[in-house]
Structures are given as C-alpha cells and as structure tokens.
Amino acid sequence: MASDPPGGDGDGRVLRIATRESPLALWQARHVAGLLAERTLPPQIVPMVSSGDVDMRPIDGKRSVGVFTKRIQQALLEDEGDVAVHSMKDLPTEPHPRLRMVASPARETVADCLVSPSATELEDLPKAARIGTGSRRRAAQLLKVRPDLEVLAIRGNVQTRLQKMQDGEYDAIILAAAGIERLEMQDLPRVELPLDLMLPAPGQGALAIEVRDDDSHAVAVVSQLNVPRSAACTLAERTLLSDLHGGCLAPIAALGTVSDRSGGEQPSSTLHLTARVLSTDGKTCLESQADTPIDLTFDGWQSAAIELGRGVAAMLIEQGAKTLIEAGR
C-alpha cells in the first residue's frame, strides 16, 4: 500500500476540486492540485460550466457579481466538489455564509498587457484604434491617457479574444499578464503596461480557494496553501472594494504591496496600498494611498490589512468616489 505524501494527514480522503472548464481555469485548478498533492492525496479535478462561460452578452450591472463563480460555489454546496478555485478578482467581496476562503497561494504578476499583432506600444496605436476589453477599469485608464481610442467590449476566454483580434474585430486587446504566463503564451506579441498607467483590479493575479465552512478536513488541508504576504495585499484591496461597494464592474483599481525593512532586533514589514476610482470616460481620476506596519508572522496581520483597506477607501469616498461609482453602474 502506498504511503501518504509528506505532510499528509493520512485520512485517505481524496479532495475534489471544482473548476470552470476554460483553459485558464483548468490551469489554475491543476496548479492548486499540485500544491495539495504535496500535503495530502492527489485531488480529483471536477470541471463545471458557469453561466459566464456560455452567455456571451456584455457583462453589465444586471449580470455581474459572481457570473463566473456561482456555479463553482454551488458545486461545493451540493457536494459535487470539496474545493473551489477562483480567480480572486472574480470572487464577490461579500462572503457566502456556508463557504470560507481559506487560502491564497503566492500571487502571480499583477500587470496588464496590450496585445496586438505587431506588439505596438500604446502611444504608437493609430488614432481611434479599436481596443477590446471587458473591464471598465481598463477602459477608463486607457481613455485617461488616450481619449481618442475606441474602447469596445469583448467576451470569451483568452483564445476566443485572440481569435477575434486576428479576425480584425479589434486592433488590440488587453489581457492580464498572469493569464498569458499561466497559459505559457510567451510568444504572444504584447507590451506590458506600466502600473502608473494601468493599476490592476483588486485581487488580480491571485487565486482564491474556497471550501465548505463545516468541512474541517478541507479547511485544515487547504489552509496550508495560504501565503500571508500575498493574502495581506489582496485582503487590503478587497476590503477597499467592499467599502466602496464597487463590485467587479466599477472602474476601481488597487494594488497592495509588502516591503521589508531590516534593522533592529526583528525584521519588520510595511503594507502599502494604492487605489484609484475613475469615471468611465477616464476624464476624472481619484487616487489615494497609505501604508501600515505589518507583522506577517502573527495572525494580527489580517486586522492591519483590513484597517488599511478601510482607511484608503474612506479617503477616496471623501474625494467623491461614490458619485463616480454610481454614475458608472
């Protein structure tokens, strides 16, 4: 009989990972399966089709929150799976009462890329070039620096979007660098957009792993995948998003980073958060930032991240963020 993996708890249960069927979602599920296999028996991957994968209408205020995540959460609630793997930026900030997000592994790059047939720089795109993106955040930040662009909605997985560009529907599209790297599309002609131009969505580049709140075995095993450095950054970002009541549609961008300081008896860290709220046309851009000391070796880091997110959200609200968000719904 095979022995349990190193660090496994030996109860003999195979965890089932529920995931969407898109190539990127399956990559994410397999990545998490690999991490779990180092700690317990190799998991089983259970593909699902979400409403967001089959309904190609533009995502708007009536069909936005959870369009890619609800089917996967339903699988856990109906015992079709034990572990749900989400792109964190797609996960609603309002937690489900019977589910718990217990882990976020190491975060990938947070950058966005301008993808075009000849890897053209943003400033070199012709006037009125057609840019495909399904994100109001990306659209607003593009229009802030290039108001002449024609920013058009686009849906579908990465491969579908690339095909639409090759077919001439768009001169360029915007894709997350993390997705390009995960799909090993290193040869894709692209230009990485600098963060001062294109701040990411809250949670971009990170994975969120959910389990049933009453599944003590899954909680114990999956929580071992959590990386506090990544989790603290995304917790601050998602707290800000929640306090702004922005949802996943509003033109809100945020990035948390952790920097380490040496010196003294113990090393110390600082959590920094920068956030923007924009009008949909990019003509108005509010920005705030702040930082806080944080000790990632103790559980108190969660409170520090939450307070930082709330503080930066309050500064944006004082500048008039709620008006911009409501106007963009």
Q: What is the mean pLDDT of residues 56-63?
A: 41
Q: Any residues with CB less than 8 A from the CB of 299 and at least 6 apart, and which?
A: none
Q: pLDDT tens across 201-224, in order?
A: 999 999 999 999 999 999 999 999
Position 116 pLDDT exceeds 80: yes
pLDDT score of 180: 94
Go through the chain and tell me how many residues it has: 329
pLDDT-derived band at 53, boundaries 50, 70, 90:
very low
Q: Considering the chain, what is the average pLDDT of its residues?
A: 89
Domains 16-107+206-226 and 112-192 alike in fold:
yes
List residues bridging with 294 in a β-sheet.
269
Instruction: Please give the structure tokens belonging to residue 127.
Output: 């006037």
Task: Report the CATH fold assignment for 112-192.
Answer: D-Maltodextrin-Binding Protein; domain 2 (3.40.190)
- Going by their DSSP bridges, the two strands 285-294 and 268-278 should be labelled as antiparallel
Q: What is the mean pLDDT of residues 138-163?
A: 95
Question: Above pLDDT 90, what percent of the chain?
Answer: 77
Contact of 279 with 324, CB cutoff 8 Å: yes
Q: How far apart are CA 107 and CA 115, in angstroms?
A: 22
Q: Any residues with CB less than 8 A from the CB of 273 and at least 6 apart, and which?
A: 236, 237, 240, 254, 255, 256, 289, 290, 291, 308, 309, 312
pLDDT score of 329: 72
Buried b (16+ CB within 10 A) or exposed e, 104-119: bbebbbbbbbbbbeee
Q: Which of the residues 4, 11, 82, 90 is marked catalytic?
A: 90
Please name the residue that has the structure tokens 């968000």.
325
Domain 16-107+206-226 has CATH 3.40.190.10: yes
pLDDT score of 61: 43
Domain boundaries, the chain: 16-107+206-226, 112-192, 230-327
List residues bridging with 252 in a β-sheet.
277
Contact of 262 with 247, CB cutoff 8 Å: no
pLDDT score of 3: 41
Position 10 pLDDT exceeds 80: no
Q: How far apart are CA 277 and CA 307, in angstroms?
A: 19
pLDDT-derived band at 2, boundaries 50, 70, 90:
very low
Position 226 pLDDT exceeds 70: yes
pLDDT score of 246: 82
Active site residue 148: no
CATH of 230-327, one of 3.30.160.40, 1.20.1250.20, 3.90.1150.10, 3.30.460.80: 3.30.160.40
CA 46 remoteness from chain centre: 21
Position 7 pLDDT exceeds 70: no
Instruction: Please give the structure tokens belonging to residue 124.
Output: 């070199």
21-35, 65-79, 115-129: which has the minimum mean pLDDT? Answer: 65-79
- Going by their DSSP bridges, the two strands 16-20 and 83-87 should be labelled as parallel
pLDDT score of 8: 46
List residues bridging with 203 in a β-sheet.
none
Q: How far apart are CA 97 and CA 210, in angstroms?
A: 12
135 Rama class: left (phi>0) / alpha (psi -120 to 50) / beta: beta
Contact of 326 with 252, CB cutoff 8 Å: no
